[in-house]
Structure formats: C-alpha cells, structure tokens
Amino acid sequence: MPDIKIKRELLMILLELGKSSHPSEFLALLIKNGDTIDEFELAPGTITGSSSARYQPDMMPLGTGISGSAHSHPSGAIRPSDADLRFFPAVGKYHIIIGAPYTEDDWRCFFADGSPCSVEVID
C-alpha cells in the first residue's frame, strides 16, 4: 500500500517545471487533499540557482494546506542533499525531488526525515 498518491497530471507538470527551469532549480509547495497530492503553489519570493532554491516562508499565505515540497536537482541526483534534509521538516511531510533529464522515471518522494516514501501515481 502506498504512503501517498499523486495525480499524474500534477507529476507531469512538475517534471516540465524541472525541464523548463534547467539549469536552475525550481521549488514548489505541495498541497494534499485527502490522501492525494493534487495541487501545488510556486513559493513566493523564491530565489533559484543551479545548486539551490530558497523561498521566504513568511510570504506564504495562511491556510494553504501545504503538505510538502517539490524541487529539481539539475545534476540528476534524486536523493536528498544535506540542505534538503534541513529544509524538509519545516515544510511538511512529503517531498518530491525531480532530476534531469526530467522523464517519468526521474523523480522520487521522501518523508521529512529523508526516508523513501512510496507513491501511487493516479489518473
């Protein structure tokens, strides 16, 4: 049984965001409704570069239901960095990392502690 579900359409959008942002990272905040991640918000005030993406948490609107994050690793590494492991707990439970070349196989989900999270992709 998966830990969480994600809408295929949302996953495809996140992969495209990674591709279109390359060689810089992108950062999005994930929204979960029920047991499914089905929305995202681009974090306001995000500063991106080739090795990091940062946002201003005090600029987030209240009550958005943020349950995690998604960001890209232009290097193609789809595992949490030390910086990711410091960031994850402040943003929610589920964290998707998308790596170059941004195909349907180039992503993984992790819990806030960096351990793998199983995800079912649904239509």
Q: Are 53 and 71 in contact (CB under 8 A)?
A: yes
| Distance, CA of 84 to CA of 21 (rounded, Å) | 18
Which neighbouring-strand residues pair with 6?
Answer: 37, 121
CA–CA–CA angle 62, 88, 60 (5° rounding)? 20
| Distance, CA of 118 to CA of 77 (rounded, Å) | 18
- CA dihedral (61, 67, 73, 74) in degrees, to 10, reads -50
The reply to whether 39 belongs to the active site is no
Which member of 9, 16, 25, 41 is catalytic? 25
Q: Could you give the residue numbers annotated as active site?
A: 25
